[in-house]
Amino acid sequence: MRPEGHERRRWVGNGIVLGPVVGVGVGVAVQAPGALPVTLGVGLLLLAGRACWVYGLLPSVRLGTVRRFVVTTVVLGLAAGGLLLVPLVNDLVLGDRPRDLDDFGRMCEGDGGADPFPRAAPYEPGRAGGPPPWVVVEEGWEDWSSTGGREQDLEDEPSPGDVQLVACAERDGRVPDTDISCGYTDGPLGLGPVTETVEFSQGRYRVTVYEARTGEPVGGGTLLGDAEVECADAVFGEDPGPEYTEPDGRQYADLLAEVHGTAAGAR
């Protein structure tokens, strides 16, 4: 018969192994949507139980030893599951989830295709009543957004977790014959001789729409900036300009509705 101290160490050791397995399994099952994480969590628990049975990790011991095993398992299980509450760990284990509308800016960086969010809301091309929640990214930042629908209220900002479509807008030149030159001075109150001349034009923008969850392109189009080109009251920076007018939110809303309607008809 093995000494009690040996059995105690075995039980505590089993708790050290089983606790993190249980904690991570439950954390994955609770925090990640879908059947796969739940299946993974249950599978980990069954695997741990099977290992205890096969390798004789459940000997007949005194109550005090069992209590140590339970306490060790629960404490380490809570610690392992709690780590999944840390955003960085959560994303590494379960996949990236958007937490702010500006997070979608990364999908419009570089020329290698969109960098998606695996836990973003899945795109529903068959959705009736207008496009789903969307966000427009200009120059790396969220510029316009809407919860979608027929009305597409541009003041109704969607939750990052609900966004299904991301529109990346990239300036693609200017509209010919829309240039104006505007002079500015460094003098106080805008008085004094002109020291800087800046060109203003109507901008042209290429827009590509992606699924937030997969990064797959859904459609796109070309939009023009405001046709009313005017001199700004002031310019900033050491070498300002040229400056271009931009599309407004309603133009983006109409484009998203058109892209969604085409995608719905094609599937």
Cα radius of gyration rounded to whole Å, the chain? 29
pLDDT for res 265:
62
Mean per-residue pLDDT for 74-79? 52
More confident residue, 157 or 139: 157
Whether 71 and 113 share a structural domain: no
CA 140, 145, 148, 152: dihedral to nearest 10 degrees? -140
Which residue, of 74, 94, 114, is where some domain finishes? 94
Report for 71-75, 108-112, 133-137: range of highest mean pLDDT:
133-137
Instruction: Give the tokens for residue 1.
Output: 């018969």
Point out the domain boundary residue: 94, 120, 145.
94
247 pLDDT band, cuts 50/70/90, is very high
For residue 141, is pLDDT > 80? yes
The structure tokens 């001075």 sit at 185
Q: Which are the contacts of 257, defined by CB distance < 8 A and separation ≥ 6?
A: 130, 131, 152
Is there a single domain that holds both residue 82 and residue 150? no
Kindly state whether residues 37 and 131 are assigned to the same domain: no
User: Does 134 lie in the same domain as 240?
Assistant: yes
How is residue 245 written in tokens? 């007018």
First vs last C-alpha separation in the chain: 69
- Comparing 74 with 198, which gets the higher pLDDT? 198
166 alpha carbon, distance to own chain's centre? 10
Secondary element (H or E) of residue 265: helix 249-266
**Residue 243 · residue 232 · CB < 8 Å:** yes
How many domains, the chain?
2
DSSP-derived pairing of the beta strands 196-211 and 134-138: unpaired
pLDDT bucket at 34, cuts 50 / 70 / 90: very low
